[in-house]
Amino acid sequence: MRKLAAYFQEDVELWGLAGLLHDIDYDRVGADPEKHGIIGAEILDGLNVDHTVIYAVKSHNPQTGTARRRKMDKALFCSDPLSGLITACALILPDKKLEGVTTEFVLKKFKENSFAKGANREQIMTCEEIGLTLEKFIELGLEAMKDIHEELGL
């Protein structure tokens, strides 16, 4: 999210916070995905987090029925499954590192529906709603993950 914010000349800290906190409620919602995002928004509201972040967290799960209005909301939604796809690409390489992953490789694997089935391709494709081609979106996502590869263990 920070990389996208910088690309769009938006608030890097605010977008980064949304990316970091969007799944804060995973332990609480468990097997009830309809509450994912709603509980997260409640937690963040109690912590006095900026309301644009709270809204993005709530709207990133379509099951909440909360419309994605802002660019941040849309960016969080399309980014959510992309990190999983990129991670899966790294994990099939011999060294299991992001260093060997290219945008072209991720694009190739994106087209293989049997690969990383949990990475919702339709959701990733909504990057077009924020004015990015799939290739550019993957490029930015991959760069962002490579920037923090040590923290990711990849």
Query: For 11-46, how does the pLDDT look when each residue is reduced to its tens digit (9 = 90+)?
Result: 999 999 999 999 999 898 876 888 998 999 999 999
Instruction: Give 113's contacts (C-beta < 8 A, 6+ positions apart).
Output: 121
pTM: 0.93
Provide the residue range defining the domain that includes 119: 2-152
Query: First-to-last CA distance in the chain?
Result: 18
Please name which of 76, 62, 90 lies closest in space to residue 146, comparing C-alpha atoms: 90
Q: What are the b/e assignments for 97-120, b being 16+ CB within 10 Å?
A: ebeebebebbeebbeeeeebeebb
Give the number of other Cβ atoms within 10 Å of residue 80's Cβ. 19
- The per-residue pLDDT for range 55-98, each reduced to its tens digit, is 999 999 998 999 999 999 999 999 999 999 999 999 999 999 99
Domain count, the chain: 1
H or E element at residue 144:
helix 134-147
